[in-house]
Structure 1
Amino acid sequence: MAQVLEFKLPDLGEGLTEAEIVRWLVEVGDVVAIDQPVVEVETAKAMVEVPCPYGGVVTARFGEEGSELPVGAPLLTVAVGATDASSVSPGDDGAAAEEPSGGSGSGSGSGSGNVLVGYGTGAPAARRRRIRPERNIAPAAPAAPAVVSAPSRPAPVAVGEVNGRQGPVAVVSPLVRRLARQHEIDLRGLTGSGPDGLILRADVDSAIRQTGQATEAAARTAAQPATRTAAEPVVAETPTVQVGAAAPATAERIPLRGVRGAVADKLSRSRSEIPDATCWVDADATELMAARAAMNAASGPSGGPKVSVLALLARICTAALARYPELNSTVDTAAREIVRLPGVHLGFAAQTERGLVVPVVRDAHTRNAESIGAEIARLTELARTGKLSPAQLTGGTFTLNNYGVFGVDGSTPIINHPEAAMLGVGRIMPKPWVHHGELAVRQVVQLSLTFDHRVCDGGTAGGFLRYVADCVEQPAVLLRTL
């Protein structure tokens, strides 16, 4: 007989305690292989595919797409030793054996034992096979007295909340569940018209129409005037017409969770803990742009990737931090100590569809502009596709924020806690500028530095920013540190 094992949401690392279910990769009744990804979840750090350490038939899933689960909560149950749904006993769904989320499966070696901290083993996923319920087929006669044939598998079900406990809801389609949520339809109160009572989209559409009709009837009843009695005098009333009247709008509530929640928590902590100050300066970036054009022209049509402005600014930052190490530090509030960090792990702000993320270029102080640019391009592509790991989003010591891509000149950025400073870069655009004593049109950029006033005073911050501006105006200054 198959043994049903429960797979719980594993520890995803980096202090993460919960995750949101984005997309289920398997259905109830699917045959899964060891280490096959079964669900895609979103944490405060990244999007992750979670592999299952057991091989067998999926007998139950816990949690709908869009819901949050804490670490250690059940994700799904798997009938280990079953090759199809008919091998699973009817009571197996509710009698799963308790197994650690990262441990091995049964004693027969059905579990991999290799589930990493939320990220699996990287083994190739086997193609899953969907087992559909059999209908109108007589059960086969037992081959031997010790073997009892099981009835065909019931229709797949989703798990719902019934009287405070988990209970089955006969619905399998994510589209049906999403439609019900949007119209606030309780699936537990519907009777499905599909096979084995399965709730179909037509059932939800019918419930939506009935709810709408009931709402309209209630509105008409409320709008009708009260019946006059015979003793009441009839007074002619002039109808009042309201032009442009509309139903009162309902405020939309958006949960602060996932990436948006993590950003909110970090920025709130930064504002509450760090006494920050900002200084800024305008710089003539004409020579920097000319130097970049010369670098890219020298590489030729097939001489490798082009050097970006952001890469040059990042290289300037690493040179400035070598001169002013106070800004490459953090504050240990418990010990009341400033901790000077030995290396520069440069973060850069990247706007994605999931929100603002800050990938980190490791050991940026050991890289040249071309190497930094290549790493920025690689991490940016991972950010856009949602494939950055938590390790690639943490551990930064200084952040470069290019908000000029949004078409703005200046900003007072919030420090990326627990770092001590952030350099902001506005758009580079032609402006009137006094050059060699004469008015000229030059490429001008505004640079702003927000710094933790506990690690240094204005003199140090001003010296750092002035050095950055000098390198922008005269890139040859960098030759002293290359």
Structure 2
Amino acid sequence: MAQVLEFKLPDLGEGLTEAEIVRWLVQVGDVVAVDQPVVEVETAKAMVEVPCPYGGVVTARFGEEGAELPVGAPLLTVAVGEPAAHTEPQGSGNVLVGYGTSETPARRRRVRPTPAAASPAGRPDGTASFARTALNGTARARVGALHTEGPVPVISPLVRRLAREGGVDLRQLAGSGPDGLILRADVEDALRTRAALGSRTAEAPASTTHRPAEARPAAATASDTRDAGIRIPLKGVRGAVADKLSRSRREIPDATCWVDADATELMRARAAMNASGGPKIALLALFARICTAALARFPELNSYVDAEAREVVQLDQVHLGFAAQTERGLVVPVVRDAHARDAESLTAEFARLTEAARAGKLTPGELTGGTFTLNNYGVFGVDGSTPIINHPEAAMLGVGRIVPKPWVHDGELAVRQVVQLSLTFDHRVCDGGTAGGFLRYVADCVEQPAVLLRTL
């Protein structure tokens, strides 16, 4: 007799507690192999495929595409073959997102589920519709009781902060998650409901006030204009970016300094390196080498502030983040141990991470743990920027476009390849002298690459 096993959304790691279903990779009735990816989900940090640790026939799926599920919520059920006597079916154990065996997944084939498999564990097929009702991002059913005593179960500190900032009493909410767990959507629904009630309350006196008839359409038109726009949910990667940038702006007293530099010699050095017949060296890799050399001289900028301990923590290793624009928004992949890599290794790693970012295949580990960020906004055709620091880092180097400009070289006016460099830094970790020294050293290496060679 087949046994039906339930596979739940696994612990995603890196503090992630929920994920949005982007695309189902299997249908009810499909045969799946052990560790075959069954669903593609988007977390606040990456889009990843979830492998199922069981092999068998898919008998039910929980949640439609676009639904947001908390960790521990059911994903699907699988009917496995008859187990041996006195034994239980065992999965692979590989239940973390992005992990599985090296075996090639079996080709899917469609089979007709048996009546027993169609109602797993004695439950009717309505469990899938319940999941859609309870967990759909647009129409969530309120389940569970109000929490009148003890701590209120909330899915993440972010949700608790959202409620606090919006003035929502969590004890008045019935969470739609498992066992009454309060999700972000529950708080957002409460905020929307309160806003709608407030709007109607504010408009009520206007209906009883005697105003000139011609004044009333203007108010209605203004209200219609506000409501006519397109609403785009701040969730997934976009929501995570919004939260992180908002936190950075609230907590970090940043300042920016900038300088123009003559990059002619750096461009010539790169051309000579690429003409040697070896692997091509990316310009970003050269700036990364300059960054790591500068951070070795000015370690104050490779740090973060421990606000609770009121300490500046200087780090020994440089994990270099770089801004990458994708169809899903801006992400910041991290090159591990950038200080220990040469230009060729940096070029290869930049290419690998950029390709993974554009394909939406970066893992949470590849998007976290940065200690300093390099932002090449010159690719957008702009000269300068004052970016927001990637919290909790202490600084970010910006590189503008490199363009021919008039420049005084060797006492004469000439056309040179000029770039604007900017450094945005946390004023708590250092003063302007340190920041200026760092930026001046970077500019010197750009203008005279031999300066960098003397420090290696």
Counterpart of 1:270 in structure 2: which amino acid? Answer: S
Partner of 1:27: 27
Shift of 1:334: 0.7
1:301-324 deviation per Cα after TM superposition (whole angstroms, max 9, x unaligned): xx2x21111111110001100100
Shift of 1:6: 1.3
Of residues 90, 106, 130, the one that matches 1:126 is: 106
Of residues 463, 467, 482, the one that matches 2:437 is: 463
Tell me, what secondary structure is at the counterpart of 2:23?
strand
Distance 2:453 2:420 in 1: 23
Give the count of matched residue pairs: 362
Distance 2:107 2:228 in 1: 46
Distance 1:405 1:27 in 2: 42
1:93-137 deviation per Cα after TM superposition (whole angstroms, max 9, x unaligned): xxxxxxxxxxxxx9343422232356333432112221147xxxx
Partner of 1:323: 297
Does the 8 Å contact 2:68/2:135 carry over to 1?
A: no
Distance 1:44 1:478 in 2: 38
* TM-score normalized by the length of structure 2: 0.75
The 1:82–1:65 alpha-carbon spacing in structure 2 relative to 1, beyond 3 Å, is farther
The 1:415–1:157 alpha-carbon spacing in structure 2 relative to 1, beyond 3 Å, is same
Distance 1:150 1:418 in 2: 54
The 1:163–1:9 alpha-carbon spacing in structure 2 relative to 1, beyond 3 Å, is closer
Partner of 2:45: 45
Distance 2:418 2:105 in 1: 52
Does the 8 Å contact 1:415/1:451 carry over to 2?
A: yes
Determine whether 1:385 maps to 2:363.
Answer: no
The 1:68–1:445 alpha-carbon spacing in structure 2 relative to 1, beyond 3 Å, is same
1:55-83 deviation per Cα after TM superposition (whole angstroms, max 9, x unaligned): 22211111111111111111111122279
Partner of 1:283: 261
Shift of 1:282: 0.6
Distance 2:130 2:80 in 1: 26
Counterpart of 1:399 in structure 2: which amino acid? Answer: T
Shift of 1:153: 6.6
Of residues 337, 343, 346, the one that matches 1:363 is: 337
Of residues 250, 270, 294, the one that matches 2:228 is: 250
Shift of 1:295: 1.1
The 1:258–1:344 alpha-carbon spacing in structure 2 relative to 1, beyond 3 Å, is same
Tell me, what secondary structure is at the counterpart of 2:37?
strand
Distance 1:399 1:281 in 2: 18
Distance 1:56 1:82 in 2: 10
1:398-420 deviation per Cα after TM superposition (whole angstroms, max 9, x unaligned): 10000000000000011111110
Does the 8 Å contact 1:53/1:115 carry over to 2?
A: yes
Counterpart of 2:274 in structure 1: which amino acid? Answer: N
Does the 8 Å contact 1:48/1:119 carry over to 2?
A: no
Give the helix-richer structure, 1 or 2: 2
Q: Name structure 1 gaps, 5 residues minimum.
A: 84-105, 134-148, 168-246
Among all aligned residue pairs of Structure 1 and Structure 2, give the percentage whose two residues are the same amino acid. 82
Determine whether 1:62 maps to 2:40.
Answer: no
The 1:158–1:437 alpha-carbon spacing in structure 2 relative to 1, beyond 3 Å, is farther
The 1:61–1:477 alpha-carbon spacing in structure 2 relative to 1, beyond 3 Å, is same
Does the 8 Å contact 1:5/1:80 carry over to 2?
A: yes
Q: Name structure 2 gaps, 5 residues minimum.
A: 120-124, 137-223
Distance 1:387 1:380 in 2: 10
The 1:45–1:107 alpha-carbon spacing in structure 2 relative to 1, beyond 3 Å, is farther
Shift of 1:392: 1.1
Distance 2:400 2:262 in 1: 12
Partner of 1:272: 250
Partner of 1:402: 376
Alpha-carbon RMSD? 2.6
Counterpart of 1:373 in structure 2: which amino acid? Answer: T
Does the 8 Å contact 1:12/1:118 carry over to 2?
A: no
Q: Which has the larger radius of gyration?
A: 1
Partner of 1:114: 94
Tell me, what secondary structure is at the counterpart of 2:101?
coil
Pairs within 5 Å for 1:56-205:
56-81=56-81, 107-116=87-96, 119-132=99-112, 159-161=128-130
Counterpart of 2:32 in structure 1: which amino acid? Answer: V
Distance 1:269 1:10 in 2: 28
The 1:10–1:322 alpha-carbon spacing in structure 2 relative to 1, beyond 3 Å, is same
1:343-399 deviation per Cα after TM superposition (whole angstroms, max 9, x unaligned): 111111111111111111111111122221121112111112222111111111110
The 1:353–1:333 alpha-carbon spacing in structure 2 relative to 1, beyond 3 Å, is same
Greater shift in the superposed pair: 267-276 or 436-445: 436-445
Does the 8 Å contact 2:80/2:89 carry over to 1?
A: no
Does the 8 Å contact 2:323/2:331 carry over to 1?
A: yes
Does the 8 Å contact 1:37/1:50 carry over to 2?
A: yes
1:24-51 deviation per Cα after TM superposition (whole angstroms, max 9, x unaligned): 1111111222211111111111111111
Shift of 1:165: 6.0
Partner of 2:240: 262
Shift of 1:151: 8.9
1:269-297 deviation per Cα after TM superposition (whole angstroms, max 9, x unaligned): 11111110000001111111111111111
Shift of 1:159: 3.3
Distance 2:134 2:274 in 1: 64
Does the 8 Å contact 1:12/1:119 carry over to 2?
A: no
Tell me, what secondary structure is at the counterpart of 1:417?
coil
Does the 8 Å contact 2:400/2:419 carry over to 1?
A: yes
